[in-house]
Amino acid sequence: MIRYFDNNATTQMERDLAELMTNLCEEEYANPNSMHSFGVKQARRLEEARERVARCLSVDPREIFFTSCATETINWILRSSVFFRGKRKKIVTTSIEHKAVLNTLRDLKTISNIEYHAVSPESDGIVSVDRLLNEVDDETFLVSVMAANNVTGSIQPYEEIGKALRERGVLYHVDAVQTIGKIPFNLQKGFCDYASFSAHKFHGPKGVGIAFVKRGTPIKPFITGGGQERGMRAGTQNVPGALVTSIAMQRAVENMDTSSRRLRDFQQQIVESVKALGGAVNTPENSVSNTVNASFAGIRSEVLVNALSEEGVYLGTSSACSSRSDGGQYVLDEMGIDPSLASCSIRISMSRFTTEEDVAVLIEKLKKTVPLLKF
Ligand code: PLP
């Protein structure tokens, strides 16, 4: 039996939603842009999905756009902002963002005449609001901050930063990929201009991303073509994917309270067993409840992950979205964790489908494997 603890990389779909998706592909395959009633029905389904997502985030459906993944959404938002920068040249971000942000900024620096400053976190992995705001000056046109870190689970002060930026005429993007079903993420408060999400992180299908673009905020079409998604993101829409995503999001949001309470208890149990085995915990207290990042000195991440994988227990070493080799170690490096310890880090990430038994098996296997690998 599989014990899956790599939910920050991706999640399992529920059987009924996977079946719904198959049925829609098989039976309701018309193009939502076709004139006939078969197509019109799909167009309605797409709007139903948009409305459901909008309700989950407390925004207007016209502020929701479907894309193919969060990486696409992030590319769209960051690249579009450059177009509206006027004479300003600077983007402020954090050094622990996902590579979807960091590598896009690096590319923008090469191809556009912009600079970016990536503020490093404090030793607990959380970025200081003051230190970040100190970097925001008259030259700054965009700030991009993640809400929850995918490697350590740390919660960033994204809302506070947004409130402080409100009067400063700076565009603000929040990478909210690791929030859905984990912490309340309600956009009604109006703290940001853009936000990005990915369906497969909350038990939705792979291949569906979501962009929130606040009404009245400048945005430029990303993919040009047939004018779909109100001219912003051309290409025939993935209606089954969008519909199933919206249901998965609703379930994640509705179950959040119960699930995060259960996971907090599991997180505590895992933290205690890591400490009892002499490990170091890299996840701060102010974290999403599903994640524990830990290091066992002297046991390299891949060795422990492979050993546990032999036992049917699947963990991450870091972010599966980055290349296997460098992963998310840079996040731990930025926190000032010794590189020899950072290279021994494992990431245990749960979901609302994680059971008490899964956690008991994980702890038992850690107890068995860690002492064996140490000697
Ligand atoms: N942002 C964060 C915080 C992530 O964790 C991820 C994926 O792990 C992404 C962005 C990119 O998401 P996707 O792979 O769906 O494009």
Task: Tell me the three-class secondary structure of 75-119, residue by residue.
Answer: HHHHHHHHHCCCCCCEEEEECCCCHHHHHHHHHHHHHCCCEEEEE
> Of 56, 69, 192, 321, which residue is the catalytic one?
321
- For atom 5 of ligand 1, the residue with the nearest CA is 150
Q: Is 321 marked active-site?
A: yes
Residues 201 and 356: their CA atoms lie apart, in Å, by: 21
Is it the case that residue 342 has pLDDT exceeding 80?
A: yes
Residues 358 and 269: their CA atoms lie apart, in Å, by: 12
With 0-12 CB in 10 A as exposed, 13-18 as middle and 19+ as buried, what is 27?
exposed
Is it the case that residue 325 has pLDDT exceeding 70?
A: no
pLDDT digits (tens, 9 = 90+) for 83-102: 999 999 999 999 999 999 99
In this prediction, residue 115 carries a pLDDT of 98
Is it the case that residue 324 has pLDDT exceeding 70?
A: no
Say if ligand 1 is within 6 A of residue 211 CB: no
Backbone CA torsion sign across 257, 71, 107, 81: negative
Say if ligand 1 is within 6 A of residue 199 CB: no
Residues 38 and 41: their CA atoms lie apart, in Å, by: 5
- Fold held by 15-253: Aspartate Aminotransferase; domain 2 (3.40.640)
Say if ligand 1 is within 6 A of residue 321 CB: yes
CATH of domain 3-11+256-361: 3.90.1150.10
Say if ligand 1 is within 6 A of residue 369 CB: no
Q: Across residues 368-372, what is the average pLDDT? A: 96
Is it the case that residue 309 has pLDDT exceeding 80?
A: yes
The Å distance, Cα 178 to ligand 1 centre, comes to 8
Please report, as a single letter, which amino acid is at residue 291. T
Domain ranges, ordered by start, for the chain = 3-11+256-361, 15-253
| Average confidence score pLDDT of the chain | 96
Is it the case that residue 287 has pLDDT exceeding 70?
A: yes
Residue 175 tokens read as 């990478």
pLDDT digits (tens, 9 = 90+) for 64-77: 999 999 999 999 99
Is it the case that residue 250 has pLDDT exceeding 90?
A: yes
The Å distance, Cα 204 to ligand 1 centre, comes to 14
Pairing of strands 140-146, 280-281: unpaired
In this prediction, residue 167 carries a pLDDT of 85
